[in-house]
């Protein structure tokens, strides 16, 4: 189930809520009971098998007008 991050405007607390994608836009109440919250834009991170977080370089292309893959 997706996890969504919210921030409370009243107390400044940041918290997470697990809910379905269909309910992603529904309001959330902060753990302190405040109703004035906003959903935050979250980023996604993937780990590689070796546990390294170093980004992999982009694959090399053959060049040319269309990347070299179509042979034009």
Q: What is the pLDDT of residues 38-63, one digit of tens each?
A: 999 977 766 667 655 566 666 666 65
Segment 6-27 shows an average pLDDT of 95
Say if residue 16's pLDDT is above 80: yes
Specify the pLDDT at position 55. Answer: 63
- What the block records as the tokens of 17 is 């809520």
8 Å CB contact between 38 and 12: no
Confidence of residue 13 (pLDDT cuts 50, 70, 90): very high
How many Å apart are CA 25 and CA 38, to the nearest integer?
A: 10
Segment 65-71 shows an average pLDDT of 59
Say if residue 23's pLDDT is above 90: yes
């Amino acid at each position: 189930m997706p996890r969504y991050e919210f921030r409370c405007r009243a107390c400044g607390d940041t918290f997470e809520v697990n809910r379905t994608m269909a309910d992603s836009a529904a309001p959330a109440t902060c753990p302190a009971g405040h109703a004035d919250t906003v959903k935050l834009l979250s980023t996604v991170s993937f780990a590689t098998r070796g546990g390294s977080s170093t980004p992999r370089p982009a694959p090399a292309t053959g060049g040319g007008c269309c990347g070299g893959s179509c042979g034009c």
